[in-house]
């Protein structure tokens, strides 16, 4: 049972990352703007002095984030990186993936030396091609979105530079970025952090995460133990039961009848 849940969770995670359900996306598209309007917080208004520096800041931003930067980043850097990540994950032994459950070693089910790639090849011979196609579509859609929001991002960068640097500092930057070496540095500065030479160092992250994940899960469980237990429906007051039913759009009776099923699910 645990093995089934681990495999299902692993396969499900990959599927969710690579292919969000189109119908679900359509259903929530109209609600998403309101739900996520302040997801990243709100910026404080600039002072009049900072506003006056925006034209100078825009000259700097035009150098460090020229049009098309997002497209280059997605096509030249991010897609190969995601392909490598997915490919590496598929070759991790299932026994190692099982350790990510956080269960003590003695409670882990016995597993062979097979990898997720080998299992997928049996269950779905076209898995790698299917994954590649979905990855390409997903990355292209993300790239299109990033290109669309690029002007807004560039405007945000200009406001950030205007708020952090003086007129003289912005002028010095613009002067440097006007030189041959400055222009080259500016054009590459936003992309260099995703250069293969930099990203290759992230290879160290996977074995490190595998090593610390059980400890992380144990500490999270220990911290959670200090909190009061989750309440069941029967623990709620009549007023809370009524409010919960109203929020979920179902009747109190339906919630009461579903409680045993939810308890069984939680304990499985």
246-265 pLDDT tens trace: 988 889 998 888 876 444 44
Same domain, 166 and 192: yes
Residue 84 lies in a domain: yes
Contact call for residues 257 and 268 (beta carbons, < 8 A): no
Q: Which domain holds residue 215?
A: 2-20+43-227
Question: Does 199 share its domain with 127?
Answer: yes
Average pLDDT over the chain, rounded to an integer: 77
Distance between CA atoms of residues 100 and 109, nearest Å:
13
Backbone phi, psi, residue 73, to 5°:
-60, -45
Is the whole model's pTM more than 0.85, yes or no?
Answer: no
Note whether 253 and 206 are same-domain residues: no
How many Cβ atoms are within 10 Å of 227's Cβ, its own excluded? 7
Joined together, the tokens standing for residue 175 give 């002067």
| 152 shares its domain with 241 | no
Within-domain flag for 34: no
In a domain, 210, yes or no: yes
Higher pLDDT, 66 or 53: 53
Residues 213 and 235 in one domain: no
Question: Rounded to an integer, what distance in angstroms lies between the CA atom of residue 126 and that of residue 83?
Answer: 16
Angle at 145 between CA 63 and CA 202, to 5 degrees: 70
Nearest C-alpha neighbor of 60 from the set 200, 176, 220, 196:
176
**Residue 37: how many other CB atoms lie within 10 Å:** 9
Residue 108 confidence (pLDDT): 62
Question: pLDDT at position 97, please?
Answer: 64
**For 192-219, what is each residue's pLDDT tens digit?**
877 878 877 877 777 787 788 888 888 8
Task: Convert the pLDDT of each residue in 11-37 to its tens digit.
Answer: 444 444 344 444 444 454 455 555 566
> Quick one: what percent of the chain has pLDDT higher than 90?
24
Count CA atoms within 13 Å of residue 219 on its CB side: 5
Quick check: 189 pLDDT over 60?
yes
175 and 216 together in one domain: yes
Same structural domain, 223 and 121:
yes
**What is the mean predicted confidence (pLDDT) over 51-67?**
93
- Predicted local distance difference test score (pLDDT) of residue 8: 44
Between residues 105 and 82, which one has the greater pLDDT? 82
222 and 244 inside one domain: no
Q: What DSSP state is assigned to residue 47?
A: P
Answer yes or no: do 254 and 268 share one domain. Answer: yes
pLDDT of residue 106: 64
User: Across the strands, what pairs with 34?
Assistant: none
Does residue 217 sit in the same domain as residue 157? yes
263 in the same domain as 176:
no
Per-residue confidence at 6, pLDDT binned at 50, 70, 90? very low
**C-alpha atoms less than 13 angstroms from C-alpha of 98 in its C-beta half-sphere:** 19
The count of domains in the chain is: 2
In this structure, is residue 128 part of a structural domain? yes
Q: Are residues 74 and 100 in the same domain?
A: yes
Q: Is 74 a domain residue?
A: yes
Residue 29, in any domain of the structure: no
Question: In Å, how far are 58, 145, 158, 165 from 51, measured between CA atoms?
Answer: 11, 28, 10, 12
pLDDT of residue 103: 59
Are 132 and 80 within 8 A, CB to CB?
no
Tokens of 220: 């999270």
pLDDT band at 80 (very low <50, low <70, confident <90, very high): confident
Residue 32 covered by a domain: no
Distance CA 220, CA 224 (A): 6
CA 76 → CA 73, 83, 106, distances in Å?
Answer: 6, 12, 44
pLDDT at 193: 79
Longest CA pairwise span in the chain (Å): 73
The tokens 């189109």 sit on which residue? Answer: 22
Strands (E) across the chain are located at none
According to the model, what pLDDT value does residue 7 have?
A: 41
């Amino acid at each position: 049972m645990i093995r089934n849940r681990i495999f299902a969770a692993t396969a499900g995670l990959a599927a969710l990352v690579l292919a969000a359900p189109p119908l679900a996306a359509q259903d929530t598209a109209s609600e998403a703007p309101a739900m996520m309007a302040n997801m990243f917080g709100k910026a404080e208004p600039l002072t009049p002095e900072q506003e006056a520096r925006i034209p100078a800041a825009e000259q700097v931003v035009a150098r460090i984030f020229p049009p098309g930067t997002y497209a280059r980043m997605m096509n030249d850097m991010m897609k190969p990186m995601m392909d490598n990540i997915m490919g590496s994950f598929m070759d991790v032994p299932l026994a190692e993936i099982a350790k990510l459950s956080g269960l003590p070693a003695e409670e882990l089910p016995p597993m062979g030396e097979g990898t997720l790639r080998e299992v997928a090849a049996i269950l779905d011979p076209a898995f790698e091609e299917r994954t590649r196609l979905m990855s390409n579509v997903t990355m292209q859609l993300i790239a299109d979105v990033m290109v669309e929001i690029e002007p807004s991002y560039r405007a945000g960068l200009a406001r950030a530079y205007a708020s952090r640097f003086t007129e003289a500092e912005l002028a010095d930057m613009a002067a440097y970025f006007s030189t041959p070496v400055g222009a080259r540095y500016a054009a590459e500065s936003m992309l260099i952090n995703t250069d293969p030479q930099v990203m290759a160092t992230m290879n160290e992250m996977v074995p490190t995460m595998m090593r610390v994940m059980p400890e992380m899960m144990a500490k999270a469980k220990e911290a959670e133990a200090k909190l009061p237990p989750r309440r069941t429906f029967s623990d709620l007051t009549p007023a809370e039961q009524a409010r919960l039913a109203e929020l979920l759009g179902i009747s109190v009776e339906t919630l009461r009848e579903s409680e045993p099923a939810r308890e069984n699910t939680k304990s499985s």
